[in-house]
Chains A and B, each alone.
Chain A
């Protein structure tokens, strides 16, 4: 492993992760992408999904509920709205998220908002299947 990527995962409450990793797969709004060291600068929004961190010591999977990912020469920073390690994620919590998303869809006023909320809901449902 010649190059390592400086990866930081922060949620509003705290800095969750800050370490050197091999690669990170980010669930971008317009598709997943994997970031290695020396990646070109990118700024992307994220959909709810799983961040897959590859380290020398193994793999770590973390569920994030949307947010932003920024790649710059210094490394990758993920600003997550909420982040839960996959190991701690249980069905009840996910079910809660799905319920919230469903309410968003029902409450949405215009088409655009409804579409966005529906997308979020779909992602969450997919995730539930995968669990």
Chain B
């Protein structure tokens, strides 16, 4: 049985922990709002991009010399997985969920006899993946210095992926990130980047051109060739923003849980502290009384 002093110390330490988790929760809540705003602000761009791309691609379907970014290289032997995670821990299952999805994916590809290359964005995913697939990881992109993810950060990653693609270092590229659904639910997602998956947003109605025909300036093919590489960066950017919002959401609910657990623990400890204190008082009284009786 712990002494009264031990119990007092335990309570004090749990209270200190609770204060920290509470503060982290509030910081995450504030950051979440900002991250969510950023993610929402970026949505129009990627939506418009998708619809322009879909328009173009449908017009060029069946074209033999379609860009490899759209049609693929014709093989799928080498896969590049871009795994985007957070730079910091203490956010519940956020990092491990993404890493697990990436790991399962890797496992499956390897068992099919494909070559896998992994590009980690964010330290936490790297920490997990290097345990089992250290040899497959080609590099880690560090975003620790970045407070608010800007398009330039995403673009840098996009350019790198494209450079590798041009050099023929891989055939298929998939982006792993966590889609933000709500504060309590983030869905780890695998998004094919190359070849691009072109599809209309579900609720988008096909545009009625009233018989008019699109005028392309310069040629369709040329526009598509500039649009597709941009699309890669835009998708990465979107993934990173969703990730940022998910991370804060996950951290918020994880810290909420932690604060509540700490509260429960304090209650339990206080109860046993009081019991023990009473027991001790009773014991002292008995000693005094029986001492007096003996006289």
Contact = CB atoms under 8 A, between A and B. Distances in A.
Query: 9 closest A-B pairs (Cβ-Cβ)?
Result: A14-B41, A12-B151, A44-B217, A42-B215, A15-B44, A10-B45, A41-B214, A10-B44, A12-B45
Interface of A: 8, 10-15, 28-30, 40-45, 68, 70, 72-74, 77, 79, 81-82
Instruction: Identify the interface centre among B45, B208, B213, B215: most chain A CB within 10 Å of its CB.
Output: B45
A69 to B, nearest CB: 9
A70 B222 CA distance: 15
A43 B214 contact: yes
Contacts of B226: 45
A43 B223 contact: yes
* Majority DSSP secondary structure for residues of B touching A: helix
Nearest to A14: B41
A12 B237 contact: yes
Contact of B209 (A13, A73, A77, A82): A73
B24 interface: no
A117 B217 CA distance: 19
B150 interface: yes
A72 B151 CA distance: 27
B212 A40 contact: yes
B207 A72 contact: yes
B215 A79 contact: no
Contacts of A72: 207, 209
A72 B49 CA distance: 14
Given A72-B207, A74-B207, A43 B56 contact: yes
B147 to A, nearest CB: 14
Given A14-B41, A29-B217, A73-B208, 20 more contacts: A8-B44, A10-B48, A11-B151, A12-B45, A12-B46, A12-B237, A13-B150, A14-B42, A28-B217, A29-B218, A40-B215, A41-B209, A42-B215, A43-B52, A43-B214, A44-B217, A45-B222, A45-B226, A77-B48, A79-B45
